[in-house]
Amino acid sequence: MLTSLKRTIGLGWQNMVRDGGIAVANIFIMMIPILLVSSIFLLKDISRYMIDALQAKADISVYFNENTTEDDILKVKQDITSIPQVNEVKYISKDQALLDFTERHKDSATLMESLSQVNGNPFLASLNIKAMGMSDYDQVASFLGQEQYKAMVNKVNYSEKKSVIEKIFFLTAGVSKTGLILAAILGFVSVLVTFNTIRMAILNRREEIAIQRLVGASHWFIRGQFFVEGLIFGLLAAIFCFLISSGISWYANSSLEALMPGLNLWNNYMAGIGTMFLLQFATGTILGTISSMIATTRYLKV
Amino acid sequence: MLPKSFQACQRKFGPVRYIKKASMIRFNNITKVYQVKAAGHKRVVALDGISFGVEKGEFVSVVGRSGAGKTTLFKLLLMEEKPTGGSVLYKNENIYKFKPKNINNLRRNVGAVFQDYKLLPNMTVTENIAYVMKVIGSSDAEIRRDIPKILEIVELEDRAQNFPAELSGGEAQRAAIARALIHRPEVVLADEPTGNLDPYHTLDILKLFLKINEMGTTVILASHNREIINKLKKRVVTLDQGKIVRDEAKGRFSL
Ligand SMILES: Nc1ncnc2c1ncn2[C@@H]1O[C@H](COP(=O)(O)OP(=O)(O)OP(=O)(O)O)[C@@H](O)[C@H]1O
Ligand SMILES: [Mg+2]
């Protein structure tokens, strides 16, 4: 049993090697859908990073009317802090706001001049709130909308980032979906091409197959060789893809990190390397097996 | 109708079960008509009511002019073609009722030297011979041990790694002979196995066939070579236009 498996693999491999040109072309075509699936996998990492980064920057600021006392504000702060979805609340007093502004714009003469023309401190005291996650901001906003705070609250500044995050989210989902559809189409194409290669191999070797039959080779002994051929195409394609995706992650790492600080593509890649390899391996195996199955069922009549 | 001698036996000893002697191979009223499509389905009668048996251990030569139907007869035995009428029995079983597994076994038990060699073009001489051994499930050790021996016997040691396209006609024929004999089949079917050999190798191969026959292998040889048939002094079945015209023990080639 084991020797017969070994022999089938050996003969399939030999057939493939002696038809080298076709094999190379076929392996390349099979690599395309595998690479697509892999890049979707990598893209997920990048987009997750971008969303995380933006989420860290998202916040809500509540500005209080002039006449609100600091004690009242601190009481609101306490109320908000008690909401479980809230991560962090920072109090910025009128004076602190003025200080921050002058610090930030001390080089701009016009701004400083217009500030000096306003008598007193034009800034409002505020609370800066960071929630746990993106979806939690709605809750914070509605909390601040309650009747009891109406008199104090001047305005709630909902940062715009939510829509940006949503955009990235949808974009990623869209790209993944398109990528998957594309991968499916290309996968189908590569099955067709492999199927055709094996079909040609079967037709080309029709005489050979007839001879193999005449010396008593069983159906599966012969069929196995073609099966192995398709499988080897898929596996070799997977191995090449693995090398390519590893290479790209390694090579693109530094330039990506400069663009998005804190994103280490290579580390992410290494963390998921097993999954990645399995993914490519599985895609290759499935593509190879399907094509040889169809081809041998159709063209290798007993 | 029972044989006379058997009827005599029955009279003497009472009821005795008559067991018909089982031939190794038996052609029963075999007819083969080819239809040539390109010629408007023209019918070619290749074999016309052939019946004969071959016993275990026999050496039979099938002779006849080119086109007499020798190769067709072999093709029917290997199930490369189906007969138009009649049946072929192998050890008393109709081979056309065989399941695929039995068909494979039949083909493994019959070592064939094809008239057109039928070597696998993508494999070297060694690989071609090894293929048959792999098919019957020989071990790697057996393959390594036996192939050099058979190559020595057919004098092809120097061509072991050549592909069939890199062989002369005679070398290819000897490779085909090596492949047919390597697994010691019960029956050897040799279709014009010396057609491309020089007189020296022809004699050698004939001696080889006689030797394996002495060791118990059934040999069926098809040939239109008068000289070698007469030298053999074995049974000769003569075909002419698809019919058996003579079947003689220690026969001679005469047409
Ligand atoms: N596949 C085929 N289709 C049509 N006719 C065929 C086919 N094969 C053989 N024949 C015809 O059947 C007849 C017998 O052919 P066969 O090959 O059995 O002859 P043979 O005795 O082996 O001849 P040779 O000594 O030349 O090898 C011939 O007339 C041949 O033309
Ligand atoms: Mg012939």
Query: Vertex B248, ends B247 and B254: CA angle to 5°?
Result: 80
Q: Which residues pair with B59 in a beta bridge?
A: B219
CA max distance for chain B = 67
No. of helices (H) and no. of strands (E), chain B: 8, 10
For residue A136, the model assigns a pLDDT of 78
For residue A183, the model assigns a pLDDT of 76
For residue B166, tell me if it sits in a domain.
yes
Contact B122 A18 (CB under 8 A): yes
Share of chain A above pLDDT 90, in %: 4
Strand, helix or coil for residue B175? helix
Q: Is A84 part of the contact surface with chain B (CB cutoff 8 Å)?
A: no
Query: Domain spans of chain A?
Result: 2-52+169-299, 66-151
User: Which residue is closest to B128 within chain A, CA to CA?
Assistant: A212
In angstroms, rounded to a whole number, what is the distance separating the alpha carbons of residues A30 and A23?
Answer: 11
pTM: 0.71
In angstroms, rounded to a whole number, what is the distance separating the alpha carbons of residues A194 and A295?
Answer: 9
Do residues B108 and B186 make contact, with C-beta atoms less than 8 angstroms apart? no
Q: What is the CATH number of the domain that holds B88?
A: 3.40.50.300
Cα B70 to ligand 2 centre (Å): 5
Q: Is A258 part of the contact surface with chain B (CB cutoff 8 Å)?
A: no
In angstroms, rounded to a whole number, what is the distance separating the alpha carbons of residues B51 and B44?
Answer: 19
In angstroms, rounded to a whole number, what is the distance separating the alpha carbons of residues A272 and A253?
Answer: 15
Ion ligand 2 residue ranges (Cβ < 5 Å): B 70-71, 115
Phi first, then psi, for residue A154 (nearest 5°) are -85, -55
In angstroms, rounded to a whole number, what is the distance separating the alpha carbons of residues A278 and B230?
Answer: 70
Do residues A256 and A265 make contact, with C-beta atoms less than 8 angstroms apart? yes
pLDDT interval class at A159 (50, 70, 90): low
Q: Whose CA is nearest to atom 19 of ligand 1?
A: B67
Q: Using CB atoms, pick whichever of B100, B118, B134 lies closest to residue A211.
A: B118
For residue B254, the model assigns a pLDDT of 76
pLDDT tens digits along A110-126: 888 888 888 778 888 88
User: Which residue is closest to A213 within chain B, CA to CA?
Assistant: B104
Predicted ipTM of the assembly: 0.85
Q: Using CB atoms, pick whichever of B101, B105, B112 lies closest to residue A214.
A: B112
The more confidently predicted of residues B44 and A265 is B44
pLDDT at B75 over 70: yes
pLDDT at A179 over 80: no
For residue B14, tell me if it sits in a domain.
no
Look at the alpha carbons of B94, B95, B100, B102 in this order and tell me if their dihedral is positive or negative. positive
Mean predicted lDDT score pLDDT of chain B: 90
Residue span of the structural domain in which B232 resides = 20-248
Mean predicted lDDT score pLDDT of chain A: 81
Q: Whose CA is nearest to atom 7 of ligand 1?
A: B34
For residue B253, tell me if it sits in a domain.
no
In angstroms, rounded to a whole number, what is the distance separating the alpha carbons of residues B218 and B233?
Answer: 16
State how far the alpha carbon of B17 is from the alpha carbons of B10, B11, B20, B23, B26, in Å: 9, 13, 10, 18, 22
Contact B107 A216 (CB under 8 A): yes
Answer CATH for A66-151 from 3.40.50.300, 3.30.70.3040, 3.40.120.10, 3.40.930.10: 3.30.70.3040
B81 lines ligand 1 (CB under 6 A): no
Structure tokens at A216: 């008593």
Contact A218 B104 (CB under 8 A): yes
Question: Number of folded domains in chain B?
Answer: 1
In angstroms, rounded to a whole number, what is the distance separating the alpha carbons of residues A167 and A30?
Answer: 33
Mean pLDDT of A95-117: 83
